[in-house]
Structure 1
Amino acid sequence: MPPDPRTSPVGSPRVLAGPLGAAPPAPQVPRALRTAFATGFKGDSPALNPCIFLFLSTIYYLLSTIPLYAAEVLEKTVASVNGETIYLSDYESNVGNVLEELKKTNPGAELSPTRLRDARSNVLQQMIDDLVLLQEAKRRSLKIYDKDVESGIAEVKNRFKKDDLGRPVPEAESERLFMAELKRQRLSYGDFQERIKKQLMVIKLVDAEVRARVGPAKDDEVKEFFNKLKKVVAKPASAAQVAVNKEEEEELTKLAQLFRDRTAERIRARHVLLKIPAGATMVEKSKTLSRIKEIKKEAEAGADFAELAEGHSQDTESAKRGGDLGYFIRGWMVPAFEAAAFSLPLGKISEPVETEFGYHIIVVEEKKAATPLRFNEVEEDLMQYVQQRGFQKKLKEFVSKLREKATIKILKDPVADSAEKFPGDNKLNNQ
């Protein structure tokens, strides 16, 4: 099923909307990052979309954290907001969604205790935010029409109509995947409709109170931000000097890395991988090496490299694309593979390359030299980014005011395992 990341590159991960969450209708988030290579390489680093590269995920997404109905009396509770309960089961479900997405974006990486604790804390705070927003939307009696709910459901179902590679999924299969996700989340179709309705109520509230009051970014503001970013791209250590506060320093540092990656030298290559099993004997390794050499000879004799990859490569994900790894830059592949790939002339097939995953043969199809960072090429994306940054600031202020008026009780703190009451203005309520 299509992944639905809801994380911000400039702040703490947000709770995931998940595949069944409603997203606000506008503005659209440019799709910026895509997986460039499959399992078997160092990490799962994103290659940049050549047209739109900035991952503008700071737009607020409504989540699947909003409770549906009252649970059984005996169910354990985590917190309450103005007397309305947040249940432990809902909390743990959302934590699971967050951790699942963190693992997808960092395959094989272990979450540190600090990062795990931060993720759990962020989930609880986001659930509280969602609930105060929903309560305010109800207080104002915001009307959501059936046609709005139907449109929201259709938007969610559309996410199941393409696979992870963007290929169309047959209608019957997409419907099966959708129903399977409902079952996985233990939702009836009626529950799902109710969730969409509640999320749309909050979206309507946020649109009226926040989005409508945020104007377009000013030209001089965008240019100033670009100039700061350009300095940090050239000299990462300068972030502390050009930023106005610690938050902006972290933001500039992370965005600068995206820009640095975008402008770096890059190549596009295909490969064939024959794996070496763990504990393989020298005889087994020799047989694998001989086989990869045979495949290389076939390619040099005129066989289509993509067809050879489809038929022989044991990197199953890239094999589906004829061994295509997309564009990648230095630092994204394991050293031996990277060194071989970047040293190859266009169209020449490499000698077998041994990595921790097995033997590879590589062919480079395109090369792009490093380019300078030009304002006119990134202006539109930065304009959207700066506008969304202003939106995030206003949204945070709006939610903080709602929290100040709310009575929030942490009945069983799943992070610190303490029981405290936090009415009004204090650190936990206004994180």
Structure 2
Amino acid sequence: MLQSIRNHIQSWISWLIVGFIILTFALWGIQDYMGGGANAAVASVNGEEIKLDDFQRAYQRERERLRQALGSNFDTLSQDEARLKQQLLERVIRERVAQQAARDLGLRVSDAELAAYIQALPEFQDNGRFSSARYEQVLRSAGLTKQGFEALQRDDLLFAQLFAGLRDTAFVSAHQFDAAVRLQHQQREVSYLVIPADKFKDAVQVDDKAVQDHYAEQRERYTTPEQVSIEYLELAGADIAAGIKPDEETLRRQYQERKAQGAYDSPEQRRARHILISVEASADEAARAAARAKAEGVLQRLKRGEDFARLATEVSQDPVSAPKGGDLGWFGRSVMDKAFEEAVFALAPGGLSEPVLSPLGWHIIKLEESRPAHSKSFEEVRPELEQAERQHEADRQFFEQYETLKNLVFENPDTLDVASRELKLPLKTSAWFGQSGGEGIARDPKVVAAAFSDEVLARGYNSELIETGANHVLALRIKERKPAAQRPLDEVRAEIIAQLKQEAMQRRARQSGEELQKRLAQGEDAETLARQPGFTWVQAGMVGRVDAKLPAPVLRAAFTLPKTQPALGGARLDNGDYALVRVTNVREGDAAALSSAERLALVRELTRGAAERVYEDFVSARLGRADIARYLDRL
């Protein structure tokens, strides 16, 4: 266009216009001149812009959520990208309206509140305490900046404040409660007859025209989705640790340091059995004396040679140790009652105590074994020291190599070869996979999301480092790419025939069920109708809305039928069979029959539902009054 103007310039005014256009492009760029820009707004809400960058990040998070939720079905859904983006934009607009409403009401989230909330999240804690290093690592692996993540959390807390404030205005009336009880705790007497689809297998045929028509109408269903093969570098702490051999001097120094701190000292221990004759703390002297006499009798039986374990099982009143022959296992000092401990530590192995009184009653004790105090030798703890030192050194090397890998991947965005040579990491190649994932490394949703991101797939750059486990990251790039392709009819013919045949069998089952329903409605006997081969009436009896003994479609159908009795309906079962459903009695829920816990749970459920409706109505009203502009061409 500029050359055309230049060729026809006739006056200094034309040159002035050209100069103005060139200057404009130079200062602001073509994108801004044309109304776009690298970070243009995709919408405006009451004058506040929703930037393209923010929307794209939200879109990537939504795609990842859908990919994990839908699995193999995600490939089909992701093809309608425009609709997904428009739906997300409406949600983002709604959130911005709610955010503005919260600010208008004076709601705020302070920096201290935000920090306390984030530090309490278990994802960012090591050994129960907030770790800045863990925080940064998790955000980095998720592709988030601190500023971006904290802004998201601040918004969430602000929404929670708004919801909490509106929730307090919600209430449930007695009438609403009674109506909910009648409905939710209603029971129905249900029976059903299953008409198997397989019954019509031999009666159904699929001709070639039906196959061709289906293929023509449903071509999008018979495409191979876009697939990629990636090459990637893995940096794994476990691989680093495997090549580390701690030196002897370091191990012995650590042993001496820990030994000086008492880390390897084991106090003396005893293993004993006991027989308890229990005495209540409130027992009088006569009861105590009777218990003592019983304990003396047990002691005499032991002295006459009866087996301690067998006698403990017979007479001990300790419910924990009696089934184990009175065995208490190994224990040290300051574990048992003081009098019990003194008696045990005064015995030699095999010795019996006199009756010992504790708050629980009278004990007869037998010492089985004793262990003297012991300090573990270097050789005993050497494997433990080696493992700790190996892990410590592996962690140090991992984080050092992590930084190197991150920089090399960024500085050389169109190749992983440089990082591979520098860090001596083998460059690996994956099998083909689509947006629903695949085998091996492609099982990880974060790997799949990175491979199909605009940065990697469209622009051909390396991915950022992806955390796939503790001290385990990788970087990837596209090696090969296969576009989506139509599968030939001959390849899918058998699949189509099987589907069309199954659909026809299901239709025949439904038609048969509907015919039987008409005959029942006209007064024919249910048991007589059910005598056809393969048919059986199932008498389920009175059931509630949640009852695992009925197929879910039968239960749903039973509770959507009118209360008039008998009521008849039908349902397609998950396996394609058809069920004829009959309801012969309806019993309303009774609030008086609910326990206090059930009443409280229902009140909470109804109040929560009411609060959600109040919140949605409030935001919808604000949305209706908002000044909103949408720029869909920028999505």
| TM-score, normalised with respect to structure 1 | 0.39
TM-score, normalization: structure 2?
0.28
Decide which structure has the larger Cα Rg and report it: 2
User: Which structure carries more helix by proportion?
Assistant: 2
> Greater RCO between the two (CA within 8 Å, min separation 6)?
2
Q: Which has the higher strand share?
A: 2
